[in-house]
Structure 1
Amino acid sequence: MEARVATADQVELTTIPACLRAAAADAASIEAVVDGDVRLTYAQLDAEVTRFARAAAAHGLQPGDRAVVWAPNSSRWIIAALGILAAGGILVPVNTRFKGEEARYAISRVRADLLILDDDFLGNNYLAAVRGDDARPPTDQLPVPALPHLRAIVTMAATDDAVAVSFDDFLASAEATPTAEIDRRIAELRADDVADILFTSGTTGYPKGAMVTHGSNLRVDEAWSDMVGLRREDRYLLVNPFFHSFGYRAGLLACVIRRATMVPMAVFDVDQALDLIQRERIAVFPGAPTVYTSILQSPRFGEYDLSSVRLAVTGATVVPVPLLERMRRDLGFETVITAYGLTESCGTATVCPPDTDQHRISTSCGKAIPGTEVAIMDPLGQLLPSGESGEVVIRGYNVMIGYFEDPTATAEAIDRDGWLHTGDVGWLDEDGYLRVTDRIKDMFVVGGFNVYPAEVERLIAEHPAVADVAVIGIPDARMGEVGHAYVLPKRGSTLTSGELIRFCRNKMANYKVPRRVSIVDEFPRTPSGKIQKFRLNAPA
């Protein structure tokens, strides 16, 4: 089939690989990535990405196939992610805090063909976690019975595991695929092709994969960059994890669009972050509120020169006003901006532009990005006027095309008129600035990460001594919110809170683990038997 031909500008605004190719042409010598000893210009990054894409194709990755990256922020994460896209694949980032069961579910759900992981991140053996408890001795076949679709597992570092190949050895296989094949695949990508699937937990207790296209990603992140004021050659400290929309879309992709420099951090550490800001002259430093709170609590932040930071962007349903004031006053950040979005809205729905007055920056999440709509809806589906409170709904090019192979959940999230129902409660002022005040759903936010009680409850219920469980979010000075589990033990058991917390740490990501556990004799219930969670909140 003959490749479609388009002008350079049309191609750049169409797909992510084409955007990188354009950056390699017009910003060839600008630093694209700084990661320890690794320093890559945009020309060099494009070459490495093309080499990865050739290797992926050599291992059988076809356009439309899914490829998972389960690793912390690094230059290799960037190369792998963009390489998957250049090969025509669909990128599926997986949370580095996931335990084996959670990761296997995501990998299996999308039937991934390729898996790239860091096998020793924070001492975790991800290969063993992928195999699960039913692992068999290595053979010529991947010993992952639950994941028969996997063609290859790539480890970020060297490995002697018989079922995996190291990153360097994987790249060596690129010679089997001509560069022209990747050129052809990039040329044939379309704006409405799915680029990535990011998992978001759901009220059913199982994560759902939100699908977003190349075109939506580029339009949203270009709008985000315009509104916050991200500039060419800005040096951007990427502390937000790449498996999250904030790090991947408003971070990695925004940098490629703007030709900014990516400085990834694998794990947020206060002293390391302060050192990087000073040494690399960081200009842009977005993060969850917890990031800035941790820095302000450090007795050493005054020892570092933070004067290079021009822009800080934070986002959550509620950002404390005193924190925003201290970021300006004590950290000296020139511009502090708040924003709001969901995985299902391509990570961004509203942003406070830099010229927003300080009161609105401190009290609102901003206004809808250009070309999209944010509205407030009542329970009957009627849109409400400014000043009235109801469910926040979003419509436009930033709304996902749906959940992967889940039309029922998609229909529940996006109504017939195209409105994405967020489950958040808020109101709009007369100028369209959004205030989020509450949540319809049970979801709570721990240090910037969404936690859905149904998912945590499902995993806790697997403990043999648990008869019933209810999880709620409670306020926490450092993390914003944390989980509190109320557990009804089975008759005759001697379950303790410490035992249950240890169980949770082996079953779920750390941010999902309840910080408190209360053993109860009974639950307050409705006449139909449903637990009344609002009555659990009072003693907490």
Structure 2
Amino acid sequence: MDHAASYVHGASATPLLGETVGALLDRMAGVWPDRPALVVRQQGIRWTYRQFLAEVERVASGLLALGLEPGDRVGIWAPNCAEWVVAQFAAPKAGLILVNINPAYRSHELSYSLNKVGCRALILPRAFKASHYLKLLSGLAPELAHAASGELSAAALPDLRHVILLDDDVESGTHRWSDLAGDAAAMKRLREIEATLSFDDPVNIQFTSGTTGAPKGATLTHHNIVNNGYFIGEAMRLTEQDRLCIPVPFYHCFGMVLGNLVCVTHGACMVIPGEGFDALATLETVAEERCTGLHGVPTMFIAELEHPRFHEFDLSSLRTGIMAGSPCPIEVMRRVVRDMHMAEVTIAYGMTETSPVSFQTVPDDPLDRRVATVGRIHPHVEVKLVDEAGHVVPRGTHGELLTRGYSVMRGYWGDEESTAVAIDAARWMHTGDLAVLDDEGYCTIVGRLKDMIIRGGENISPREIEEFLYGHPDVQDVQVFGVPDEKFGEQVCAWIRLRDGATTTVAAIQDYCRHNLAYFKVPHYVRFVDAFPMTVTGKVQKYLMRESMVAELGQTSPDVHANASTL
């Protein structure tokens, strides 16, 4: 029989929300002023929606009092904390654009990010774990140490004017977060700005790695993320009674949209178990706070399930949550449902450029659908699968997934060329993912046209690492690709051709990367080779390198995984 075309449209009687992030928070604080909004375990914070709104407005007016103007970019380079959540809502309330900077970034990546989007202000703690943020920043901007508190002028970071430190200690050239507060004039200015904002204004820039090298700044609007958060929460059947444990990072759309915005759009409580992921802290938090939902990438759920103290914790309050970020092992999904009481756990698929979710399972879907597919199309979103000629393929046939609708980003900041490649003239976002739609509309992700590596939920550009390694004096040529890994989904592997006479080691290459790149980009495997497998036309065949590594490591390519979001 003839199959229908691989096109789906999320027709819905539920209208899109036509409000800004600030208006959303105002509305929810008006409806649920005394309900819990934010619990941050490591900081001892418990705020109601009324208290949370007051803190957001304090910081929003304080940012304006520094002289920032609507449209200015404000970077946040920090682990999960109450201040991150406040900044997420304060910046858009003041008409500013929040720029998410990965806490694992080192100086090279930080300077690129700040300069790419022209950040006027940067929020950061003094240090977190092994990252001494202020020292790294001072290394880029030595002027910081000699500046009086106020406007900064740094040659390496020409747009940066204000550094806002989350610590209480005063530091030369910085402002203290706790001192941010606008006077009556700044609060009046805040109200005036809010009245002029449009829900189509850009509100957030998230860096995403493609295969072309340097990260690109996906620019999202109020409309993008407010509505995506709302409909994700609807699929989870969230209400104001829910308490969602969010151990996933806020700099990523998983924490920021699928976590924080999902809660605020439903009057639910955001529960933050720690600055970074810790299995024990997460289990303790779920039990102590009687959380009804829990998010995580598969490796997080595995760490929780396998923790030696797992059975000490009463997790019976759990009902829902999202597993996403990388392929989900089917057995892990079954254990989450059975042992963590998450009978309504959902799987989501999307990408940063689409705010991010396009497909999601719902509690009514049979378990086999929830582990073998990424569910069905989200409300108000369109998807089609096309062949290499751009023609829509029949159901049951592989094709590239293209998506269109309210969720598609404005574009890549300051990069019209990359935007035009990603979003065609009809506003279809080309995801680079290969998928299949069945006759009931369930979607299965079967591969990637792109070369991207997904390690533990982190999207990694092979080209970015290759270009960095080309700067090593002993490296003549390099190819970077992903190999299957049971714990992280994939690990980074680099095949390197050394210059004549060079005698460097695997450890030296890894150490070179470790000092300049985020830890998750450091090649786990390094092999020195004389040549790369090539086609007759000279094109490198990375798939043959991957197959060779799989054979060397005695692995089989993972084929027993459920689908998950690439987010």
Q: Counterparts of 1:60-79 in structure 2 under 5 Å?
A: 60-79=67-86
Q: Which residues in structure 2 correspond to 1:97-108 (within 5 Å)?
A: 97-108=104-115
SS in 1 for 2:510: helix
Aligned to 1:166: 176
1:235-254 to 2 correspondence within 5 Å? 235-254=243-262
Q: Return the offset for 1:332.
A: 2.5
Corresponding position of 1:151: 161
Consecutive unaligned residues of structure 1, counting only runs of 5 or more, are: 1-9
Q: Which residue of 2 aligns with 1:82?
A: 89
CA deviation digits over 1:68-115, x for unaligned, max 9? 111111111111221111111011111111111101111111111111
Q: Which residue of 197, 202, 225 corresponds with 1:194?
A: 202
Whichever residue aligns with residue 422 of structure 1, its letter is T
How far apart in 1 are the matches of 2:139 and 2:539? Answer: 34
CA distance in 2, matches of 1:492, 1:143: 45
Instruction: Work out the CA distance in 2 between the residues paired with 1:334 and 1:204.
Output: 40
* Same amino acid, percent of matched pairs: 36
Pairing 1:321–2:326 present: no
Instruction: Report how far residue 318 of structure 1 moved.
Output: 2.7
Deviations along 1:282-310, whole A, 9 cap, x unmatched?
Answer: 11101111110111221211111111111
- TM-aligned CA deviation for residue 134 of structure 1: 6.7
Q: Do 1:91 and 1:195's aligned partners in 2 also have CA atoms closer than 8 Å? A: yes
**Equivalent residue runs for 1:60-459 within 5 Å:** 60-132=67-139, 135-136=142-143, 138-140=146-148, 142=152, 144-169=154-179, 171=180, 173-175=181-183, 177-264=185-272, 265-316=274-325, 318-459=327-468
Instruction: Name the SS of the counterpart of 1:122 in structure 2.
Output: coil
TM-score, L = length of structure 1: 0.95
Q: 3-state DSSP class of the match of 2:79? A: coil
**Kept after mapping to 2: 8 A contact 1:72/1:96:** yes
Residues 1:34 and 2:39 are matched in the alignment: yes
Distance 1:152 1:474 in 2: 42
User: Taking structure 1 as reference, are residues 177 and 74 closer, same or farther at Cα in structure 2, changes over 3 Å only?
Assistant: farther
Matched, 1:513 2:522: yes
Contact in 1 for aligned 2:140/2:157 (Cα 8 Å): no
Q: Is the 8 A contact 1:11 1:18 kept in 2?
A: no
Mapped pair 1:522 → 2:531: yes
Give the stretch that moved more between structures: 294-303 or 64-73. Answer: 294-303
User: Secondary structure at the residue paired with 2:51?
Assistant: helix
Higher mean alpha-carbon deviation, 452-461 vs 127-136, is at 127-136
CA distance 1:61–1:484, change in 2 (3 Å): same
Shift of 1:238: 1.1
CA distance in 1 between counterparts of 2:493 and 2:324 reads 23
- Aligned equivalents of 1:490 and 1:375: distance in 2? 47
Give the residue type in structure 2 aligned to 1:209.
G
Structure 1 contact 318–437 (Cα < 8 Å) conserved? no
Q: Deviations along 1:212-242, whole A, 9 cap, x unmatched?
A: 1111211211111111212213111111111
Q: Are the aligned partners of 2:73 and 2:97 in contact in 1 as well (CA < 8 Å)?
A: yes
Moved more, 74-83 or 46-55: 74-83
Preserved contact between residue 17 and residue 227 of structure 2 (Cα < 8 Å): no
Residue aligning to 2:555: none
How far off its partner does 1:190 sit? 0.6
- Residue 544 of structure 2 aligns to a residue whose secondary structure is helix
State the alpha-carbon separation in 1 of the partners of residues 467 and 238 from structure 2.
41
Task: For structure 2, list consecutive stretches of 5 or more residues without a partner in the other structure.
Answer: 1-14, 550-567
Alignment correspondent of 1:5: none
**Aligned CA-pair RMSD:** 1.7
Aligned-partner Cα distance in 2 for 1:292–1:352: 18
> Number of paired residues?
529
Q: Matched residues in 1 for 2:385 and 2:210: separation?
A: 22
CA distance in 2 between counterparts of 1:117 and 1:44 reads 23
Secondary structure, counterpart of 2:401 in structure 1 = strand
Deviations 1:345-366 (A, max 9, x none): 1011101011111111010001
Structure 2 letter corresponding to 1:333: M
CA gap of 1:45–1:399, structure 2 versus 1, over 3 A, is same
CA displacement 1:53-81 (0-9 Å, x = unmatched): 11100111111111111111111111122
